[in-house]
Amino acid sequence: MKVDAGSDTAFQRIWYHEAEDRCFALLPGMLAPPGEATYLQQPEGGAQLDLSLVIVTRNEEKHLARCFESVPFAGEVLVVDSGSTDSTIGIARTLGCRVMHHSFTDYSSQKQWALEQARYDWVLFLDADEYLDPDLSGAIRSLLLKGPDRDGYRLRFRMLYMGRLMRLGPWSGESHLRLIRKASASFSGSHVHEGLVLESGRPGILRKGHVVHESYEDLSEQIDKMRAYASMWARGEHSAGRRAGPSPMILRPLWRLFSSCILRGGILEGVPGLTASVVASFYVFLKWSMLREMTMRSNPGGEDRVR
């Protein structure tokens, strides 16, 4: 077995993942210095494909294994960590992931750096709290075996919220570009809402199966995340020169509530759908209120200017 991470004496043990017919070489100790991999996954039997699964992490011990196991055919699983203090790194090592460290500045820059480290031409991006359902996992594997005819593919999403797999509500119809040819795409966007963009052409869409996203353990965690995201969004927009008057604080949350609950059918999902719609509306109120506050502090007594 060829391993580019040191001599044979550096290894403590070999662990066989029989269910997926894999063999992994495991390194001991601590996280490698920035930019160095701690593990090299060694596929056997041709079961894996030339695909890099890339996962950006920080304190994702509860979710990482599920995400990893939903893509058993990936020839490389690259975990880019920004300083986890829980068991994320140890779990990644046990699973046989290639682990790298990169300091976090913003989501777009972090994921762009991770993309550049991927070894294979085709890359699948998942957050640690996301995983492929069996239908989508099979569809991606079949696509790669057949040979893709596009440089990128959008994947459909469903949110797992309050124990319910949501079909309607704020996230209905959601899809994102996540499966791409490495040389044909890059990350762009704000500090919070990053996204892959193809350099040319239109992406395809895989209509079979979904990426299941379980972003929040409970409402308390959701509100904490919303507060952090709203603050990041407001600071980024303010730094870019955007200012907010009072009207977006009122009109935008009302529209979000109406569109989520009525137009997108959130009310038909019962309590989870209604809760999701109200909380989504509150997030819109929060971020525009924060931007309004920054506007007033930077221009006290001045006229409102909205862009």
76 DSSP β-pair partners = 52
DSSP 116: H
Question: Nearest-CA neighbor of 153 among 168, 143, 138, 167?
Answer: 143
Segment 92-108 shows an average pLDDT of: 95
- Match domain 8-213 to its CATH number in 3.90.550.10, 3.40.1160.10, 3.40.630.10, 3.40.50.2000: 3.90.550.10
pLDDT in tens, 190-242: 556 678 999 988 999 999 999 999 988 899 999 999 999 999 999 989 988 89
How wide is the angle at C-alpha 182 spanned by C-alphas 90 and 52, nearest 5°?
30
Mean pLDDT of the chain: 84
Q: What is the pLDDT of residue 5?
A: 37
List pLDDT tens digits, range 256-291: 999 999 999 999 999 999 999 999 999 999 999 999
The amino acid that residue 14 corresponds to is I
Band (93; pLDDT cuts 50, 70, 90): very high
Task: Single out the residue of 114, 113, 32, 122 nearest to residue 75, CA to CA.
Answer: 122
As a dihedral over the C-alpha atoms of residue 41, residue 46, residue 48, residue 49, rounded to 10 degrees, the angle is 120
Q: Please, where in the chain does CATH 3.90.550.10 lie? A: 8-213
The tens digit of pLDDT for each residue in 292-301 reads 999 998 876 6
